[in-house]
Structure 1
């Protein structure tokens, strides 16, 4: 079943009107579904019916792809305009046809007077799909193979294309067996149409333009051998699994952890210099920038051709403002470091280079956890010194 998505945009809506919109759209959409005038989308194994999602001043409607369903949705929005006195800006609203030919989506959009967006199945990727694809490619480039991390798990095979989707082997079957693909009369056939495995017994059904022979027959033999690796559950529908976790369930949190480990791990020394789970992520990133000399201190800004009134330290005004001076050797912060070193009884603080102060983690005669705690205290102290410096800069503006 192909499903459209419409994003409806309101202009000049205040808080009271938003509450009215939430009440009206929920009530009217529910009534339309009960009377069969609007068909939503069933999601998940429990077949939860989803008809709309609402945000601050935007509403997204979901439903079956047919002209009557879309025109009924437009009529509901027109009723909202008449009853509320507000205006739905159809020209800024978008119609998305998932798995729909772009020309068909364009015709439907003209009927209701809104914009149209394509999808990545039948048209060049634009809009939101373009951003998703670009993000996936960017992750691939940093050695996180996101675009190939989703694997099709075959159930009854009814929703998986036999030839045009990667569901078995090393690639799509149309690429692995091009001669057979050219003989296929129905190149859009599903897995269920072509093969079924029940109690380890394989049943196949073909629809060739002619009987395979020669090299084509060899391809058919290799294809049938490939089915020996097939595992399916005819009682369930086809599903997607995320290869990065054993459960197969995609979560943004897990992806964030993977990206953090990959990005920050590229700059991690054998002593795990830039990672410490006792501090917030923003502190880890700050320390990485500091040790790489990538903080926007005045010296660095001056190197990049930014015209500044002065490149002297805003804290002490006695030296040029570099990363090392600001965080370590400035007279205004040196007393802070002396007190911290005295507090931990690790000897006297001697200003040196920034790597010696922020890079080390184990003070003399301490446990491994104590070393990480000592490192965390220094990192957070440096972060707070930098925040204080920024606050002072803002006060001087």
Structure 2
């Protein structure tokens, strides 16, 4: 490493001169000198790792000079074989098997000299933008196993999408594991609740320092920590759904907050067959029952499902379900009045009561507050109609004409990840929507801006190489504002893409009145499909025919 004899003697003196003693049963032993290592808190401790890893850096530098291995080319003739920061070391090599084997031999030599061992049995070769056939060879060269993204690395899931709920499953499982033994003993005791919450809240701290947690995951974690020893209907319902596989009645159709709670509870009991009517009492052997078949359906569940299926439209669904609840509740009250009071309501009176209850419940829950009940009773279904949620309507690409009076060339790029395998695609059409040509191609591993710029370059190049398109008005449409602004900028636009921008501008000048413009993704759907097809291809163009 180039250190002189005097400097090495100084370092040896710093290590060997200090004396230590050990306390045994409270009594210190005789002092003894150190043979290796540093004392805790020694001033040389912060420099220890740098001194040791400097030897590793020197080994790789000498190996690179001898041609045993070659680092990654960063441009302008700069080769990087290794980078070190604090206690981390990153190696950069050209993708050749002999370089991997030589790097492994260098690490083995460093292990014998410094005692720092790299455990290849726990290491993995992970493919990022390459074919699996090569990764097999590289794994054999390093004597380790293959892996695939996502993989656990330093306590995190490397390569996973943090906006997916499955990404946060380790945090959920960790909190559940910590919480389960405490529920019965500590959680309902107010004096320890703050301590427990502090411990549980510190579990996801490492994840939260790196990734932004989705709102749904945050709510789930709060629910896990909100137990206070009291009964929770929501948690009980979740456990019930998980334990019972057969839910013949959709609970979401009953519990809609469209009628009073006691009516919803009664409807649920009716649909589950738990209301003590004669049929239920006969099943329990309380009363005798004549052999008389029902004139409707076999069960109230079938009637409910049929009623729900007869709903006129989505906008009428809530009032339709409210009407069912009003019918069941009114029939039950009429039945009780008939049995216990001897009252026999007429059919017209019962129908009016059902309509009035439906309108009153619907108005009470804020969905028809602006409409008088008298108006709602005249036309119940239409008055209680709700506007369905507005959906974002995407315009069909074929119906959008070119911005000029000439041709339109829609282009797009698609990547599985950024950076990752990228495909580009484009379609050329005239004012009437007739397809004149298209292309779809796999271009390799690039970032999104480079991929979009390559798609624009491919479109203008193909137009410039077609004699019949020179001199015509062509609008090259991209859904990337950044790349369009770079192409249309007065200066360089982007220093990284300066060459390809210059080529695009040169082709536009040769074409005549052509231009590159921006439009939303909704009108670029066909080009997006071609780009996605290109990202999955191994060949070149899907089609390159121009008429």
TM-score by length of 1: 0.33
Of structures 1 and 2, the one scoring higher in RCO (CA 8 A, sep 6+) is 1
Q: Which has the higher helix share?
A: 2
Larger Rg belongs to = 2
